Structures are given as C-alpha cells and as structure tokens.
Structure 1
Amino acid sequence: MSTEYSAQEKRSRISGIVGAASGNLVEWFDFYIYAVFAVYFTHALTAPDMDDTTKSIYVWGVFAASFFMRPIGSWFFGRLADQHGRKKSMVVSICVMAVSSFLFALLPTYEQVGLLAPFLLLLVRLLQGLSVGGEYGAVATYMSEIGLKGRKGFFSSFQYVTLSGGQLLASLLSVIMLAFLTKAQLEAGWWRLPFVIGGCAALVSLFARRHLEETLSTKDSHQEGSGTLRELFKNHWKRFLLVVGYTSAGSLAFYTITVYSKTYLSNTLGLADQTVGYIMTLCLLVFMIAQPFFGIFADRLGRRTAMLAFSGLLAIFIYPVMAIAMPYFASQVWLVAILLVFMMLILSFYTSISGLVKAEMFPTHVRALGVGFSYAVGNALFGGSAPSLALQFKAVGFENIFFIYVSIMLMICFLCSLAIPKDPEYLHQEP
C-alpha cells in the first residue's frame, strides 16, 4: 500500500487539493447563503397575502427544486470531466455559480414585478443547482485521484472541510450583518449583499482553478463509453444503485442536521435569530475542523467501518436528540449547542469520506459521472427535500415523525454500507 513520492510531487498534489478545495468553498458558500438568508428575502419575493408558513414552504420548496437540477448538472459536468478533464469541468462550474449569484442579487421584488418575482427566484436557484450538481462529482473525483495513497481519507476530507466551511462563512456573515443591521433592514434589501460577495468570490477562485494539474489521462478520456450514461448503466449499474442507497440517507442526514436545524432552532425551539446564528456558526466550525480527523480514522480502520458507524449511531440518536432532548433543554442554549455538535460529529463519519467512497466505486473513465450522478439523484430525492418535508410535517402537527423517517433511511444506509468492499482502492488508478 505504501507509495513513495518525491517532495516536489507531494507539494504539487497538496497544491492541487488546495486549489480544488478553495473553489469548492466558494461554490458551497454561494449555494448555502440561500438557506441562511431565506428568512430575510422570503417576504420580498413572495405574495404578501400568503401566510408565513405558506411562504416558508414555497421558499424551501424552491430550495428542494434546485436539487432536481443536480442530476442534469452532474450529467453535463460529469461527461465534461470524464471526456475533457476534471480541471475544465471545475472551471466551467465555478463560472456558472458566479453568474447565478450575481443574478440572485439582482432579483426584483414581488412589489415590483408581481408573480414574476417568485418565478425568477425559482429560475436562478435552478441555475445554482445545475452548477453545484457538477461541482460535487468533479471535485470528489479530482481529490480522490490526486490525494496521496494511504492518506486518501485525510486528503479527501478537505472536500467537506471547504463544503462545511462554505456553510460556516454563510452563517458567520449572517452573524456579522445582524450585528450591524436590523431584521427590517435585511428584509428591505440588504439580503442581496451576500450574493454579491459570493459572486465576486467565485470570480477570484477562477484563478486557483485555472492552475490545477489535470489528473485525467488521454487514454481514459478517449476510452469507449467515457463519460456516458450508457456505459455507467450498462456495466456499473449495481455500484451506481449502491452509491445512491447510502448517498440518499447521507444527504438527508446532512441537510437535516446542518441546514434544517437552523429553522428548527428558530421555529420549534423559539430561539432568537442572533442566538441561532451563534449556535450554527460555532457548531459548523467544530464540524469543519473535525473532518480531517475522521478522514484519518477511515484511513486506519477502513471506509466501511466509518460508514457503518455513521449510519448505525445516527439511526439510534437522531430521534431522541432532535425530538426529545433539544426541546427539553431549549432554555439552556449551551446544551442545545453541545447536542448539535454531537450530531455533527456522528455525521462526520460519513462526510469526511463520502466523496472518496463514491469515487473508489467507479473506474476512471466514468468516475466523475458515476460519483456526480449518483450523488445528485440521492440528493434530489431525499437531501434537498429535507427542510421542506420537515416543515410540511410541522404544518400538520407531526414534526417529530420527520425524524423517524430520517432514522429509517439511515437503517437502509447501514445495510448498503455492509456491501462496501473492505479495500475498494483496487478500482483506483494513480494519475
């Protein structure tokens, strides 16, 4: 298993990890500022005669709808990555995110254009979903290929360091803006600023990505069936379904704990917006820092062990922590934060290696497509719908049933994880 690398090659590969990860940070920051600032642009972009719950369901429904663009994005960018290079795919996806972020900042309000406002909100969000759909597969593939052998879990964990870092920066930005602006001022138009910042950051990250080392060989790019769904479904459909299986539960758990929990703390536990901002920022910081340590765990004890720990532990704890303990300790903010950190640490068994586990299941010539498309399908069906579905359960008075649903999906993930090979790296080819 050991492979010797020269000092120059180590520096080159680490530089590649940093370059890919920095763009990933910006992509996910741009994507998650929607979730963080949704409460402030909801009234501006929806009909004034709708009640607050209906408005929230629509806005989070748009959030869920954007996930259905991910399969299209993963197909387009996955094909591009497998046929023309990982680097080109990542450069194009960050450009699309930059454009969509600037368009979001320019959205007209319902007062200005009527029903066109929520429709334009949907269109711009779908464009963001297209970009992120292509981002995940290309980055996961690139980082799995350029990481040092024997330490791939550690290096691949930086995909979620930057992914959670994007969430963290979005949450931190909301804390800073709330310190200087009132809720009324944010609702009046200052909610546009984060999208301007995100668009500018995306343009800056282009520089890092334009200098990445390509990992796709000419031989693999020209192999018959490279980057095609026909090849993926004809020869690798079993692995595809397996990856969709554990991605569905992983994505559902991820969006429940890191995205919906913000709404849960505000709407269900009744915590103040600024308090929720502090809690989410602190928890996401811990979550981000934890990723490399869990990546090292997977390198030493195996990917399958990590996946089984994630699905088994979270299936046991998701309901008692979220539905019972958090409401019980709602008046003790520090305990709520500890409980949320606990959930994020269990989640880290999955997030630290999720991209790597997927990448190691597919051969090089369909790797980006296989990773991205399976991830996008799982996200579209289960991940992106989490906040909207949870709110619909809440609207009919059965919010806690949602956590039972998450637990059942995690049990399915546990069964899927049993089928992960103990040493799947035989599929991996050094660039």
Structure 2
Amino acid sequence: MHKKAALSGFLGSTLEYYDFSIYASAAALVFPSVFFPSGNPTVALVASLATYAVGYVARPIGAFVLGNWGDRHGRKNVLVFALLLMGFSTFAVGLLPTYSQVGILAPILLVALRLIQGFAVAGELSGASALIAEHAPAGRRGFFTSFSLQGTQAGSILASAAFIPLSAMLPAQAFHSWGWRVPFLLSALVVIAGYLIRRRVAETPVFLQEAKEHVVPQAPIVKVVRESGWTIFRAILMGLTNVIGTTAAVFGTAYATQPSYGIKMSPATYLWMPVMANIVAVILIPFFGKLSDRIGRRPLMIFGSLSSGVLSFAYLWAISQRNVVLTLVLAILMWGVLYQMWNATFASFFQELFPTRTRVTGFAISQNIGLLIVAFLPTIFTLVAPPGSANVPLLIGGLTLGLAVISAIATWATRETSHLSLDALDTADRSVGHEAGAAAKTA
C-alpha cells in the first residue's frame, strides 16, 4: 500500500501543481498586457505579480479549513476535494474576459479565481505527504514522502512546457489573444484524471487507529497551536527557503523577459529554464529523500538553503549579462540541484514534527504561512529593484540569501526526527501535551 500511496501522491501533486504553476508563467509573460491597463508597463508588471501573490493570501485560510478537515475526516477526503476545487478555478481563468473587454472587472475576476486556487492548493501537499508518510515503512519515510515533492516539480515542468510551443509557434498577437488560455482550459482533463487516481487510495492505518483510540479534536487548529506553537513558528521560518523558487521562476522570468527591464531574453527560450531545472529536480528528489533517511533531514536542509541562496547572486548576474547558456546552467545548479536538497526533505521533516491527530493542520499552516510571506517577494523585489536599476543582482541576491540564512538557523534549532517511528513521535508529543495541560491547570 505504501507504493500505491506514493504513486497517488506523485500523480495527484503533479496534476494539482500543474494547475497552480501555469499561473506563475502567465503572470510574468502575458497577464500584464491582458488584464491591466497598458499605459505604464512597470505598474502593470507589479500588479500582475501581485495577483500571483494573492493566491498565497488564501493559502493560510485553506490550511486552517482543509487541515482541520484532513485531521478530522481523513487524508483521502481532503485530497479529492482540493483537487476538484483547483481544477474548477484554473479552468475558469482560461475563460476570463480581458481588460480591454470589460475593464476593471477583468483583474477583479482574476484575483477572485486566484484566491480559490490558493485555498485549494493549501491542502494538497500537507494531505498527500501525510498520506504517504503514514503508509511508509519505518526508516524510509524520507524516500517515499519525497515522491509528493517530485510530483510538484513534475507539475511545474508540465506548466512551463505547456507555454513553450504556444509562445514559440504562435504569432505574438495570437498568443496574447487566445494561445495563453489553452493550458488553463486543459484543467478539465486534470480534474477527471486526478479524481480517478485519488478515489482508489485507502485511508492510512495510523489515522484510523488514532481516530479509534482517541477522540479527534473538534478544532485541531487550537490544539496544534497550543501544543506545537513553537514548532509551527520554526517551520514557517524554515519555509523561507522557498524564496529560491520565486527568485528563479517568477522574478527571474520577469527580469529576463519584460521589456521594461531591457534584458529582452526570448520568452520561448527562457521558458526552457524551469523545465530543465525541474527535470533535474525530478531525477534527484528521490535520491535526496533516501539520503535524508540515512544522514538525517537537517544536514540536507541547512546545506541546501545556504548554498542555493549564495548562488542566487550569480544566477541574477548571468541574466543581467544576457548570457542564456550561463543562466540556464546556474538555474539548474541553484534550483534543480541545491534547492532540491531542502525541497526533497522538508515534507517528511514537517510531517514528523507534528503528531497524527494534528499532522495535516500543523503541516498546512506552517507551509502556507511561509509561502504567503515568500509569495509577495517578487512584487517587493520589483519595487526594491524596479526597471532601470543597475544593481538588481546585488539587491535581490542579498535579500534571497538573507532569507535562506534565517531558514537554515531555524532548521538548526529543530531536533532531528528521521530515526524515530511515528508511534514514538506520537508518544513523545502526547507526553508533552499532557505535561503542558497539567502545567496550565496548576497555573
């Protein structure tokens, strides 16, 4: 069953993150001219990147709701619902009218659907990785849980690849008129495939046993904050390493391709960068997951954060020099290799930090609040280093590295969990919870 759960996690995450990731490419490539006034290109770019970030505003809300659902009613149920909701909202984006057709209503509708996307995706990785981790045999949680992260990268590959032939073969006018809509409309197929995959996976024995032996809390969010509040805070800080992905894929795309920055890399050429980096990531993620079972989660996460943060300077400098080959090589090394040491490991690590009864909630809240912070960084980066700035690599590279350092410190301050069974982790957390409750009553 653990192999079936891993396959379901991989395929489900691939499909859902395809839906979520195509928005990032569209926000950098076409949304500034499609959904916003064309008078000021800088304002249009900032506004478009802000709508990308808006999707992360809804993610903490989705984490509360869907995490609660996953801890009370099971991991499988929340995954099916999240996938259906994501497919609907993404398909609807492909049907939206443009700014020239309906004016301000166009970006309003775009923001509303992006909020629904963010709400839906908040339950995906937390539920999928919990399903896999709880099915996985002892000593192999890192390896099997990494498949859910492998799926997110595969989804990003499909999302970027969906735009490559359209932007390369269609005239610019056709691509901006209707070509960009095609990847969004394909979400109808995603919904069908994802539903068929998810409905066949069994609920985890660990969850069923926990529900049988202990009363499932009516509000897991209250329990997880009371018992694991400090853990949530550290996990949020650890999640700041996701700045590597937004620096590379979102701000990097805008910096390289938007005319206002003057770099003028071809969008079709530049779209190959995340594809190549993610292909390398898909290959390496299971290896890093397996390695984390042997040497621990913390060493990989700390080294991955710091090394990829340092390399962001060189990556942005290569873009500024219009060196496509060097940009591609550095992107693959920074994003496809070094960052994946962290990315392949954090899901199993976060799952092990929380007990079964609040596992999905704790993971979802930690991950999505961290992502909310990171999601606004491309917009902040654009304001800090707007078009015309001469020191973009130094400014944005410095901010990226600073956040990576904070993440590494938070990881260093957290206990290693790879050698412990879920039962042992649950027992330890119950003891902590009983001690905290007794102390509260005494006080």
CA distance in 1, matches of 2:165, 2:384: 32
Which residue number in structure 1 is paired with residue 331 of structure 2?
A: 340
Q: Structure 2 vs 1, CA of residues 258 and 40 (structure 1 numbering), >3 Å: closer, same or farther? A: closer
Q: Structure 2 vs 1, CA of residues 109 and 270 (structure 1 numbering), >3 Å: closer, same or farther? A: closer
Which residue among 276, 280, 283 is the counterpart of 1:282?
276
Which residue among 218, 228, 233 is the counterpart of 1:236?
228
1:172 has 2:164 as partner: no
* Equivalent runs, 1:22-101 vs 2, <5 Å: 22-38=11-27, 39-48=29-38, 50-101=39-90
Q: Deviations over 1:98-124 (max 9, x none)?
A: 110121111122222211111001001
Q: CA deviation at 1:226?
A: 5.8
Which residue number in structure 2 is paired with residue 151 of structure 1?
A: 140
Structure 1: give runs of 5+ residues left out of the alignment: 1-11
Q: CA deviation at 1:169?
A: 0.6
User: 162-171 or 214-223: which moved more?
Assistant: 214-223
Q: CA deviation at 1:80?
A: 0.7
* Equivalent runs, 1:22-421 vs 2, <5 Å: 22-38=11-27, 39-48=29-38, 50-215=39-204, 217-221=207-211, 223-225=215-217, 228-247=220-239, 249-267=240-258, 269-319=263-313, 321-328=314-321, 330-331=322-323, 333-344=324-335, 345-381=337-373, 383-395=374-386, 397=389, 399-400=392-393, 401-421=395-415
Q: CA deviation at 1:81?
A: 0.6
Q: Structure 2 vs 1, CA of residues 407 and 159 (structure 1 numbering), >3 Å: closer, same or farther? A: same
Q: Structure 2 vs 1, CA of residues 279 and 423 (structure 1 numbering), >3 Å: closer, same or farther? A: closer
CA distance in 2, matches of 1:148, 1:227: 29
CA distance in 1, matches of 2:133, 2:396: 34
CA distance in 2, matches of 1:128, 1:407: 29
Structure number with higher relative contact order (C-alpha < 8 Å, ≥ 6 residues apart): 1
Amino acid at match of 1:362: F
Which residue number in structure 1 is paired with residue 433 of structure 2?
A: none
TM-score w.r.t. the length of structure 1 is 0.91
Contact 2:68-2:220 within 8 A present in 1 as well: yes
Q: CA deviation at 1:427?
A: 6.2
The number of residue pairs the alignment matches comes to 414
CA distance in 1, matches of 2:223, 2:198: 28
Q: CA deviation at 1:394?
A: 2.4
Contact 1:155-1:295 within 8 A present in 2 as well: yes
CA distance in 2, matches of 1:254, 1:155: 23
Structure 2: give runs of 5+ residues left out of the alignment: 427-443
CA distance in 1, matches of 2:172, 2:275: 18
Amino acid at match of 2:414: I
Amino acid at match of 2:278: L
Q: CA deviation at 1:297?
A: 1.9
Amino acid at match of 2:30: Y
Q: Deviations over 1:314-350 (max 9, x none)?
A: 343322x13434434x33x222211111102110111
Amino acid at match of 1:391: T
For the aligned residue pairs, the C-alpha RMSD in angstroms reads 2.0
TM-score w.r.t. the length of structure 2 is 0.88
Contact 1:74-1:376 within 8 A present in 2 as well: yes
Q: Which runs of 4+ in 1 moved over 6 A?
A: none
CA distance in 2, matches of 1:199, 1:334: 36
CA distance in 2, matches of 1:225, 1:424: 27
Q: Structure 2 vs 1, CA of residues 227 and 349 (structure 1 numbering), >3 Å: closer, same or farther? A: farther
CA distance in 2, matches of 1:394, 1:379: 21
